[in-house]
Amino acid sequence: MSRGGSTTRWRKLRRWVAARDGMVCRRPLCPCGGVALTWEPGQPNTVTLGHIVADTDGGSSHPENLRAECARENYADGARITNRKRARSRLNTSREW
């Protein structure tokens, strides 16, 4: 399934998960404290879908692996994952000692 809100299927899934989670941020230990989410783009409490197990770690986009999250922390988490992947790719894994 495509991500990033570009497909009708993903938008419908986002609305369904947000309704299931009561339009509240379900991310544990989030600094927002479980704030009520909105559909207003560009706001820190805009509803987004977050993966419980990141897709880079083998997670899927199945509804059981998704939760409603505030945009600020979800996007920050994505940046951390991207930076972690970049750091791994720079390691010299050659066996030539």
What tens digit of pLDDT does each residue of 11-53 get?
A: 899 899 999 999 999 988 888 888 888 888 877 788 888 888 8
| 41 found inside a domain | yes
Residue type at position 21? D
| 78 found inside a domain | yes
**Residue 54 is encoded by which pair of tokens?**
């990141």
| 54 found inside a domain | yes
| 36 found inside a domain | yes
| 80 found inside a domain | yes
Residue 48, domain extent: 8-88
| 95 found inside a domain | no
Secondary element (H or E) of residue 50: strand 47-51
Q: Tell me what pLDDT residue 67 has.
A: 92
Question: Which of 74, 14, 89, 84 shows the shortest CA–CA distance to 43?
Answer: 74
Confidence of residue 71 (pLDDT cuts 50, 70, 90): confident
**Residue 3 is encoded by which pair of tokens?**
């991500």
The model's pTM is: 0.68
Report the number of distinct structural domains present in the chain: 1
CA dist 2 and 30 (Å) reads 26
CA dist 82 and 77 (Å) reads 9
